[in-house]
């Protein structure tokens, strides 16, 4: 690999990463806008984030998380 080729390849990777970081920032802004819109209609953004996090879990993992939460709440006399 020649030095010039390596520099060009590195520049290409850096440029692609920078472009993806810009897209990621734009998507994050879009997501914040949706949460703000939902909040404006009366929904709780924190709870929505929790629901989204839970929906990412598979069935057994979700059940385990819910069981642990119930156990901890019971141990602390919460709920």
The answer on 24 and 58 residing in a single domain is: no
Q: Write down the pLDDT at residue 35.
A: 98
Q: Write down the pLDDT at residue 1.
A: 64
Quick one: average pLDDT of 3-17? 94
The answer on 33 and 4 residing in a single domain is: yes
What domain count does the chain have?
2
The answer on 1 and 15 residing in a single domain is: yes
The answer on 30 and 2 residing in a single domain is: yes
Q: Which residue range is the domain that position 75 belongs to?
A: 44-79
The answer on 54 and 72 residing in a single domain is: yes
Q: Write down the pLDDT at residue 3.
A: 87
> Rounded to an integer, what distance in angstroms lies between the CA atom of residue 69 and that of residue 41?
29
Q: Write down the pLDDT at residue 62.
A: 93
Each residue's pLDDT tens digit, 25-53: 999 999 999 999 999 999 999 999 999 99
The answer on 31 and 61 residing in a single domain is: no
Residue entry with tokens 């598979």: 58
pTM of the model: 0.72
């Amino acid at each position: 690999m020649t030095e010039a080729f390596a520099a060009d390849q590195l520049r290409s990777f850096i440029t692609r990463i920078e472009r993806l970081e810009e897209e990621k920032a734009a998507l994050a802004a879009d997501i914040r806008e949706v949460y703000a819109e939902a909040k404006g209609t009366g929904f709780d953004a924190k709870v929505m984030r929790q629901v989204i996090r839970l929906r990412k879990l598979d069935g057994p993992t979700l059940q385990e998380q819910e069981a642990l939460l119930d156990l901890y709440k019971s141990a602390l006399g919460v709920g």
